[in-house]
């Protein structure tokens, strides 16, 4: 299977939200490429801009309240230039999205089968019988038992795991070449999480779909991803192939995230906690290293004034020179 063909190219993307009379970038100069048959994971804490990136790609922001600049290229077409009618032809047919909260993403007043068929009605010329058959095929494909019965039920009658499977069925109904999965396993128990991730992996292998997987779970990243982009305060701070990132993390934020994972061989030790929190959109520093405030023991001169991405090894990019000087507070006896 090939992974060399670019499916989606994001170039210098900015998404700013209007607060009073000013726009503040929640996604700040992001450049990424998704290839065919590749899973690109976007990792970071809540509030780092991951979901905003996804909804920008899908064209889901109110143009009166947001300012979006840059390019999102699909088949040499900049999606950001499309009007709503043209974007509707792309959504579902070319790019499917698995939303974080299936209960709010599903229509509570529509039967499950009708919600899956809605996408087919919009993007295909299927007859009523063909749509009904495809709905049952999809429910079966995503591992839902008794598809006929479930297709006639409403979202509130299903468990969280079943609703998430329905969302996936809707996302893949038209066999889109790109799927964006925004925290697809949040609030699901561990067994169901594993089943959902296995399902996504299977779909990717069967159809060579490119998947953007948004998550804060580094265990999921290690298991699923081919490429990883670490996002902090609206910017990509590190990007690398998955093996490289886990074996040779460079940015202080990436290293801090990895250091926060509980380890079986260190059960008696305290968990590492990253100091501080992600700054709010309005209070985000727009100059200097955005992570500097959370590693105050690193000297100011060891950060760049205007941090850029540096290629430290082939396909491994790191933002700001602070990665060269970083150490954990306790590594040099500092308190």
**DSSP-assigned letters across all residues of 155-172:** GGGS-HHHHHHHHHHHHH
pLDDT number for residue 335 = 43
Task: Please give the average per-residue pLDDT across 240-245, as a whole number.
Answer: 98
Task: Please give the average per-residue pLDDT across 74-94, as a whole number.
Answer: 95
Domains of the chain, first to last: 6-232 (3.40.50.300), 254-332 (no CATH)
Helix (H, G, I), strand (E, B) or coil at 14: strand
pLDDT number for residue 268 = 64
pLDDT tens-digit profile of 18-72?
998 899 999 999 999 999 999 999 999 999 999 999 999 999 999 999 999 999 9
Rounded to whole angstroms, the Cα distance separating 9 from 184 reads 22
pTM over 0.85: yes
pLDDT number for residue 332 = 60
DSSP 177-201: SEEEEESTTTT--HHHHHHHHHHHH
Q: Rounded to the nearest 10 degrees, what angle do helices 160-172 and 112-123 cross at?
A: 10
Rounded to whole angstroms, the Cα distance separating 220 from 181 reads 12
- The more confident residue out of 60 and 206 is 60
Q: How many residues are present in the chain?
A: 335
pLDDT number for residue 4 = 64
In the block, residue with structure tokens 């100091």: 275
Rounded to whole angstroms, the Cα distance separating 69 from 316 reads 25
Q: Is residue 91 predicted with pLDDT exceeding 70?
A: yes
pLDDT tens-digit profile of 159-199?
999 999 999 999 999 999 999 999 998 778 888 888 889 98
- The more confident residue out of 117 and 195 is 117
Q: Is residue 267 predicted with pLDDT exceeding 70?
A: no
Label residue 23 exposed, middle or buried (CB < 10 Å: 0-12, 13-18, 19+): middle
Which residue intervals of the chain are DSSP H helices?
50-57, 84-90, 102-105, 112-123, 128-141, 147-151, 160-172, 190-207, 218-224, 242-247, 252-259
Helix (H, G, I), strand (E, B) or coil at 65: coil
CA-wise closest residue to 55 among 12, 33, 87, 7: 87
pLDDT over 90, % of the chain: 80
pLDDT number for residue 333 = 46
Which residues lie closer than 8 Å to 287 by C-beta, 6 or more apart? 305, 306
pLDDT number for residue 26 = 96
pLDDT number for residue 266 = 65
Going by pLDDT thresholds of 50, 70 and 90, the confidence category of residue 273 is confident
Helix (H, G, I), strand (E, B) or coil at 292: helix
Average pLDDT, the chain: 92
Going by pLDDT thresholds of 50, 70 and 90, the confidence category of residue 206 is confident
């Amino acid at each position: 299977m090939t992974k060399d063909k670019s499916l989606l190219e994001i170039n210098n993307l900015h998404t700013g939200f209007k607060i009073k009379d000013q726009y503040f970038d929640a996604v700040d100069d992001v450049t990424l490429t998704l290839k065919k048959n590749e899973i690109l994971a976007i990792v970071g804490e809540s509030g780092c801009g991951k979901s905003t990136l996804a909804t920008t790609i899908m064209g889901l922001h109110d143009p009166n309240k947001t300012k979006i600049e840059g390019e999102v290229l699909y088949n040499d077409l900049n999606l950001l230039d499309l009007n709503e009618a043209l974007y509707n032809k792309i959504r579902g047919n070319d790019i499917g999205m698995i939303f974080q909260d299936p209960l709010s993403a599903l229509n509570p007043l529509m039967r499950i089968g009708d919600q899956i068929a809605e996408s087919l009605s919009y993007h295909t010329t299927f007859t009523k019988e063909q749509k009904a058959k495809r709905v049952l095929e999809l429910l079966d494909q995503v591992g839902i038992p008794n598809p006929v019965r479930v297709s006639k039920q409403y979202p509130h009658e299903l468990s969280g795991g079943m609703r998430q499977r329905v969302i996936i069925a809707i996302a893949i109904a038209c066999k889109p070449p790109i799927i964006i999965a925004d925290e697809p396993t949040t609030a699901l128990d561990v067994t169901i999480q594993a089943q959902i991730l296995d399902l996504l992996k299977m779909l990717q292998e069967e159809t060579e779909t490119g998947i953007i997987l948004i998550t804060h779970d580094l265990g999921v990243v290690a298991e699923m991803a081919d490429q990883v982009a670490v996002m902090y305060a609206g910017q990509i701070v590190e990007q690398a192939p998955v093996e490289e990132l886990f074996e040779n993390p460079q940015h202080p934020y990436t290293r801090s995230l990895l250091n926060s994972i509980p380890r079986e061989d260190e059960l008696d030790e305290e968990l590492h906690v990253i100091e501080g929190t992600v700054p709010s959109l309005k209070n985000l520093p727009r100059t200097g290293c955005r992570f500097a405030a959370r590693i105050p023991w690193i000297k100011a001169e060891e950060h760049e004034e205007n941090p850029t991405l540096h290629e430290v090894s082939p396909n491994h990019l790191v933002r700001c020179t602070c990665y060269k000087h970083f150490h954990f507070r306790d590594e040099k006896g500092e308190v």
